[in-house]
Amino acid sequence: MILPFSPPCHPYSFLLLHSQEPLPPNNMSKQFDLVVKNGIVVTSGDTGKLDIAIKDGKIAHLAANISEDLAEKVIDAEGAYVMPGGVDAHAPVGGLGNVRTTLRPARVRRSAEGPPRLSRSNRWEESLLQVVENYDARAKATGSYCDYAYHVIITRPELETLKVELPVIVGKWGITSCKLFMTYAALQLRDNELLDVMYEARRLAITTMIHAENGDLISWLTDKLEERGMVEPRYHAESRPPVVEMEATSRAIVLAEMIQNPVLFVHVGSASAAEVIRNAQTRGFPVFAETCPQYLHLTWEDLKKFHSPQCFENSKMICSPPPGPDDSDQEALWTGLRNGTFTIYSSDHCPFRYGDIDGKALGIVQHEESMQSVTCPVDQDHVHEVMHGKSGHFKYIPNGCPGIETRLPLLFNYGLLEGRITPERFVELTSTAPAKLVIFDLLQFLNSRTDALMLIVWVISSKRCTLAWPLRRR
């Protein structure tokens, strides 16, 4: 099945070879199930022209010239990059309120990706164990066409949670990371609570992920903007200037460094926060960082493009932290991807539908002033009528953008093909580093006896872009 794909500046197509499902019994005279020939094989440390032979879901052999006669199926990857599949280390699929992607609908979008990482909040009325069990049941009931694993979001760092439940989650469920928030009233932790969780995370040797924004400063700035009537979607970014992220990042590093707990800063969007992280890294402290596509391709100007008193379109681009004010932040982030400031490149896939009564439209539905003139029923059938001619309030708009489909293509095009990063660095950011950091060391090398979870063959051409489906026979 071939699907159209919107082409960026440098058209390409990519072919996915998925081997999680067993191939049918092959001819006994054939040594391998599949051979990928003539490709430019790329790992995080090296690049070379090799053939890859796969047997029983594992890479069985790598050599310069494997005979086609030895394989049941052969794919000619002449001139194409052959890389490990992507590992998206941060994708809150169906885990934060009304996020509109679940595991099963994401199967198509994620087909170039390896094991995703899903977040689920520890709600106030539930134990952390109950949250994980409930979410796992939801995931299994929905079904998935890809591997997945969980993060846990800790919002109630009580003794029972940290000393009893968290060790069980790590030991029984194999969860290797927790996420902490420094903003959002329902999720925000105080400094002493951050320290409590970091201390236990260090003891259990799990990754501490941090959403670094100063929630109190955001609340204060939001109040000041409201006093001046500056509440349209474009003002979301002005309620969260770069200093909000920079201050929280600095504070979290101080706390983590005091107890020597490694931390991973997720969705870093500003040059100033990246600089703080780089400074800590040069001191030798184990600070890791992630950035995402939206911060490399959007700015405050994108929020202003659709701005008018009767327009709500720019709510589609609202995320937290917001992208930088101008393209100088983008260039600083590209530099960080090159020089190692950023350890991983993730999607932070957190989409809310624009025309959904529980999606971006909440920015209007929950804003009393916008709703004063509404006479139709406030339901999904009338959502566009409810939204028409209104601009709403940014503080009620759910924060989040999609990214699963575009994460790899955007970095491949604007990073690798435009010379900003090397092929090896592409693999490091999208596959090897996230696997090592939060999952396992399985995808570090494309070597003999490694599970062939997925290979991606990137074909660069002047033709229109297409997405070729995984080659699987049932």
DSSP string across 220-280: HHHHHHHHTT--SGGGGGGGS-HHHHHHHHHHHHHHHHHTT--EEE-S---HHHHHHHHHH
Mean predicted confidence (pLDDT) in 249-253:
99
Q: What is the pLDDT of residues 403-413, one digit of tens each?
A: 988 999 999 99
CA distance 308 to 310: 5
For the chain, give every residue range classified as CATH 3.20.20.140.
106-344
Structure tokens at 463: 């033709």
At residue 223 the predicted structure's pLDDT band, cuts being 50, 70 and 90, is very high
- Beta 81-84 vs 454-460: how paired, if at all? antiparallel
Angle among Cα 22, 436, 280 to the nearest 5 degrees reads 160
The amino acid at 448: S
Is 432 in contact with 441 (CB distance < 8 Å)? no
Is the pLDDT higher at 130 or at 26? 130
Q: What is the percent of the chain where pLDDT is above 90?
A: 54
- Which of the four pLDDT bands, split at 50, 70 and 90, describes residue 451? low
pLDDT at residue number 144: 76
pLDDT band for position 147 (50/70/90)?
confident
3-class secondary structure, 79: coil
* pLDDT per residue as tens digits for the range 50-92: 999 998 888 888 899 999 999 999 999 998 999 988 889 998 8
Residue 353 has pLDDT above 70, yes or no: yes
- Round to the nearest angstrom and report the end-to-end CA distance of the chain: 15
Task: Kindly report, as residue ranges, where domains of CATH 2.30.40.10 are found in the chain.
Answer: 2-85+410-468
pLDDT in tens, 277-290: 999 999 999 999 99
Q: Is the pLDDT of residue 21 over 50?
A: no
* Fold for the domain defined by 106-344: TIM Barrel (3.20.20)
Determine contact, residues 420/340, Cβ cutoff 8 Å.
no
Strands (E), 90-233: 117-118, 149-150, 152-153, 177-181, 207-211
**pTM, two decimal places:** 0.86
Neighbours of 432 (CB within 10 A): 22
CATH homologous superfamily, domain 2-85+410-468: Urease, subunit C, domain 1 (2.30.40.10)
Q: Is the pLDDT of residue 299 over 90?
A: yes
- Confirm if 378 and 386 have CB atoms less than 8 A apart: yes
Q: Which tokens is 461 given?
A: 């051409």
Average pLDDT, the chain: 83
Q: Where does the pLDDT of residue 467 fall: very low under 50, low under 70, confident under 90, or very high at 90 and above?
A: very low
CA angle at 196 for the pair 125 and 283, rounded to the nearest 5°: 135
Q: Which among 219, 213, 334, 300 is positioned nearest to 265, based on CA atoms?
A: 213
What sign results for the dihedral spanned by CA atoms 101, 103, 109, 115? positive
Tell me the Cα Rg of the chain: 23
